[in-house]
Protein backbone atom coordinates (compact mmCIF):
# COMPACT_ATOMS: atom_id res chain seq x y z
CA UNK A 1 0.00 0.00 0.00
CA UNK A 2 1.29 3.47 -0.77
CA UNK A 3 0.34 6.84 0.73
CA UNK A 4 -2.28 7.66 -1.93
CA UNK A 5 -3.99 4.31 -1.43
CA UNK A 6 -4.01 4.87 2.34
CA UNK A 7 -5.54 8.34 1.88
CA UNK A 8 -8.24 6.98 -0.44
CA UNK A 9 -9.10 4.12 1.93
CA UNK A 10 -9.30 6.33 5.02
CA UNK A 11 -11.34 8.89 3.11
CA UNK A 12 -13.85 6.25 2.03
CA UNK A 13 -14.02 4.66 5.50
CA UNK A 14 -14.54 7.96 7.34
CA UNK A 15 -16.44 9.97 4.69
CA UNK A 16 -13.86 12.76 5.15
CA UNK A 17 -12.68 14.48 1.94
CA UNK A 18 -9.41 13.01 0.63
CA UNK A 19 -7.75 16.44 0.65
CA UNK A 20 -8.38 16.80 4.39
CA UNK A 21 -7.21 13.24 5.10
CA UNK A 22 -4.03 13.94 3.10
CA UNK A 23 -3.27 17.13 5.07
CA UNK A 24 -3.61 15.28 8.37
CA UNK A 25 -1.60 12.31 7.09
CA UNK A 26 1.25 14.52 5.91
CA UNK A 27 1.25 16.40 9.23
CA UNK A 28 1.46 13.13 11.19
CA UNK A 29 4.28 11.80 9.01
CA UNK A 30 6.21 15.06 9.35
CA UNK A 31 5.88 14.83 13.14
CA UNK A 32 7.02 11.18 13.11
CA UNK A 33 10.02 12.27 11.05
CA UNK A 34 10.93 14.94 13.64
CA UNK A 35 10.52 12.43 16.48
CA UNK A 36 12.93 10.05 14.75
CA UNK A 37 15.40 12.87 14.07
CA UNK A 38 15.21 13.93 17.74
CA UNK A 39 15.39 10.27 18.88
CA UNK A 40 12.11 10.48 20.78
CA UNK A 41 9.66 7.60 21.11
CA UNK A 42 5.94 7.62 20.37
CA UNK A 43 3.13 5.62 21.95
CA UNK A 44 -0.54 5.39 21.03
CA UNK A 45 -3.27 2.92 21.95
CA UNK A 46 -2.49 0.98 18.74
CA UNK A 47 1.24 1.29 17.99
CA UNK A 48 4.56 2.35 19.47
CA UNK A 49 7.55 3.83 17.65
CA UNK A 50 10.97 3.37 19.20
CA UNK A 51 13.66 5.66 17.78
CA UNK A 52 17.03 4.02 17.17
CA UNK A 53 20.38 5.18 15.78
CA UNK A 54 22.84 2.78 14.23
CA UNK A 55 26.43 3.91 14.71
CA UNK A 56 28.65 4.86 11.79
CA UNK A 57 31.09 2.16 10.67
CA UNK A 58 34.41 2.97 9.04
CA UNK A 59 35.50 1.31 5.83
CA UNK A 60 37.04 -2.10 6.43
CA UNK A 61 38.86 -4.02 3.74
CA UNK A 62 36.67 -4.05 0.64
CA UNK A 63 33.56 -2.83 2.52
CA UNK A 64 32.75 0.90 2.21
CA UNK A 65 32.11 3.16 5.21
CA UNK A 66 28.52 3.24 6.47
CA UNK A 67 27.18 6.50 7.96
CA UNK A 68 25.09 6.57 11.14
CA UNK A 69 21.39 6.08 10.43
CA UNK A 70 18.32 7.14 12.40
CA UNK A 71 15.16 5.08 12.13
CA UNK A 72 12.24 3.85 14.22
CA UNK A 73 10.88 0.44 15.01
CA UNK A 74 7.11 0.19 14.91
CA UNK A 75 5.32 -2.36 17.04
CA UNK A 76 1.66 -3.22 17.45
CA UNK A 77 0.63 -2.74 21.06
CA UNK A 78 -0.63 -5.83 22.78
CA UNK A 79 -4.15 -5.57 24.09
CA UNK A 80 -4.37 -6.46 27.77
CA UNK A 81 -5.97 -9.83 28.29
CA UNK A 82 -9.06 -9.97 30.44
CA UNK A 83 -8.60 -11.64 33.80
CA UNK A 84 -10.22 -15.07 33.95
CA UNK A 85 -13.61 -15.11 35.57
CA UNK A 86 -13.70 -16.39 39.13
CA UNK A 87 -15.90 -19.46 39.62
CA UNK A 88 -19.08 -18.83 41.55
CA UNK A 89 -19.43 -20.92 44.76
pLDDT in tens, 41-76: 999 999 999 999 999 999 998 999 999 999 999 999
pLDDT band with cut points at 50, 70 and 90 for residue 14: very high
For residues 44 and 23, give the distance between their C-alpha atoms in angstroms, rounded to a whole number. 20
pLDDT in tens, 77-87: 987 776 666 76
What's the pLDDT at 89?
63
List, in order of start, the domains of the chain with CATH numbers: 3-54+69-76 (4.10.520.10)
For residues 21 and 44, give the distance between their C-alpha atoms in angstroms, rounded to a whole number. 19
The upper half-sphere exposure of residue 4, i.e. CA atoms within 13 Å in the direction of its Cβ, equals 0
Residue 19: helix, strand or coil by DSSP? Answer: helix
Amino acid sequence: MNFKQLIDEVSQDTKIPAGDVRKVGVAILERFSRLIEEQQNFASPLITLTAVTTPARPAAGDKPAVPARKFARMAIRQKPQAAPAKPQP
